[in-house]
Amino acid sequence: MAAKEDLYSKILPRRLRQNRPGSVKCGSNLDVLLSMGFPRPRALKALVSTGGRSVQAACDWLFSHVDDPFLDDPLPREFVLYLRPSGPLQNQLSHFWQQSRVTCGKNKAHNIFPHITLCQFFMCADHKVEALCEALLATVQQWRGRFPSPLPLELYTSSNFIGLFVEEQVADILKQFAADFATEAARKAEVHVEPHKKQLHVTLAYNFPTNHLPSLEKLAKGIEVKLGCDWLAVLFSRDIRFANHETLRVMYPYTPQNEDELELVPGDFVFMSPVDQSSTSEGWVYGTSLASGLSGLLPENYVSLADESDTWVFHGSHSFFSCGPSDRTSKERGMFDGLLDSRRPENTSPGDTPTLSLICHPMQQVLRISSGLSRQPKRTLFVCRHGERMDVVFGKHWLSLCSDSKGRYVRSNLNMPPSLPLWGDKRDYDMDAPITVVGSTQARLVGEALLESNTVLDFVYCSPSLRCVQTAQNILRGLQQDSKLKVRVEPGLFEWTKWVSGNSLPAWIPPTELAAAHFSVDTTYRPLIPVSKLTVSESYENYMSRSYQVTKDILSDCKNTGNNVLIVAHASSLEACTRQLQGRSPQSAKDFVQVVRKIPYLGFCSCEEQGDTGVWQLVDPPILPLTHGPNHSFDWRETLLQE
């Protein structure tokens, strides 16, 4: 990276900026910030850094960066132009991204979402960003109808690289588009853009251990490169100061104990340079907070390695094949593979194209207030259903299928677990059925997806049903937290007791015995609603009231010690634990049952608190849904030996 003096020499002197033509037109947001007394350079920097979403977001950013030593430095951001696929091809690429990471771990390709690089990184001052966005839009409009479709891609592999290369003649056409953008950017925004001169390609994996090549190559060959795809021209930027730094994600809060230490807020990112670590003590690193701009020492085990593009700002995307709005709605959020937020700016409709179309990662809502106090990330409640049940798959007499003549457990199907906890104690498996092997796999997949999305769980609660305890355990296993987090077994989370057959509740395994059977449960936890308070055949009103009350109590107990709570319970819990939390009245019992029937195993929902208002709202979960088909019983004798 160039020296700071060299960078400053390429920037207009501050005293000449106000009278230069072509200054940014951020509309009323900039005018409001100026009327509030903020200096123009600071106002512009805040709008660019927060995506121009609103005056409030810009103000919050300014307050959080009040002690940032670089706040008034006229340092430009670095920009880059990519082609990003959308549609069926993007779905397959995202699947490859996830599976390769789960199978072989992270490699260098995972730092950035799937893309084709069209130019080198280039600098653009804050007051020229709008003109730069206009240059991109104008160039795309000129190329509509001329962009090659389909885009021919060919798989290439080597010992440490796998990619999809664009056919050479078509690549020359794409390079011409990049050259046209460079010309338009120079004319409108007075920036120098250098088009990419190397072979154009989508990198799938690189810089990975050689022994991972067979697995990665097998996954790559599963990508159908001829699938339909709408290629989008997308513009991103990053803070030039941290271009060669490692990006770390804050996992746990930390309050500084000394003046040279950095405050940590979960959800923030820290930039760390290996050069700055020579004088740090073991277990500590020196870094700079994205949320506040402050630098200091921090405990190494409070952060984890993040992806480089997690901190980039998205400046808008444009399709070559449609003339619709350039900003994608939240329905297409999955196309960014969880790396960047593609929500529209506030106060715009789906048909509007904002003048300053900058979208920033939701993490940048984590801000430091000038008083020294931190605004915590939004509190989130996750609720999910348990995994596949043994009695549903193998019928109510499933116990007879896995017991030998001496009463010992012997599985008769691969979907039956190899063993069951406390089988010899004759547990009440008739009324408290465990989950299948597939159920355990479902739960681990959800845990792995939460890990992949960098979701942090602070507390896990579950119903006392064995199937819920097992599901929670396997989610934590997939999340690699089964040895760190303990599950709180809460009887108040049990399903509507009207659905229990017989005249008594199941004889659930007590937490102490679950712990003895190697389940990661909190044996010191005292239930909010003890088993003795549950009644058989309770009314629908009582069930909804119980679920609402126990959810409120859980959130209240966790308020000052954690932000993310996971509840693992029943299909009915996704509705019962969240509906009244949103201020909505319960549905009729008939409508409630219809909703519950639509919730599959490991159905997952996310409810987020709106500020400090106490109002909660359902939002998109951080993970994709889990869907798979049925697999009926197969007897080869009956099927293949029939005459």
What is the CA 26 to chain-centroid distance, rounded? Answer: 30
How is residue 580 written in tokens? Answer: 């009244």
Catalytic: 397? no
For 350-356, which contacts have Cβ atoms below 8 Å and span 24 or more sequence positions?
Answer: 350/325, 351/324, 351/325, 352/325, 353/137, 353/325, 353/326, 353/327, 354/52, 354/327, 355/25, 355/26, 355/27, 355/130, 356/24, 356/26, 356/27, 356/29, 356/47, 356/48, 356/52, 356/129, 356/130, 356/133
User: Is-contact 114 290, C-beta < 8 A?
Assistant: no
Interhelix angle 437-452/466-478, nearest 10 degrees: 40
Options 361, 488, 570, 579, the catalytic residue: 570
Task: With beta carbons less than 8 A apart as the criterion, state whether 405 and 454 touch.
Answer: no
- DSSP alpha helix (H) spans, 52-193: 55-64, 88-104, 129-143, 168-189
Q: How many angstroms separate the Cα of 181 from the Cα of each of 63, 86, 356, 437?
A: 36, 21, 18, 54
Question: What are the Cα distances from residue 189, in Å, to 23, 124, 510?
Answer: 9, 8, 68
Here the tokens at position 267 are: 């959800």
| Nearest CA-CA partner of 71 in 39, 97, 93, 103 | 39
- Residue position matching structure tokens 């629908």: 540
Distance, CA of 167 to CA of 171 (rounded, Å): 6
Catalytic residue among 385, 427, 488, 546: 385
Beta pairing, strands 269-272 & 284-289: antiparallel
Is 386 a residue of the active site? yes
**531 DSSP 8-state letter:** G
Q: Which residue has the tokens 């091809």?
A: 89
Strand ordering across the sheet containing 604-609: 487-489, 459-462, 564-569, 380-385, 604-609, 616-619
Residues marked active site are found at: 385-386, 570
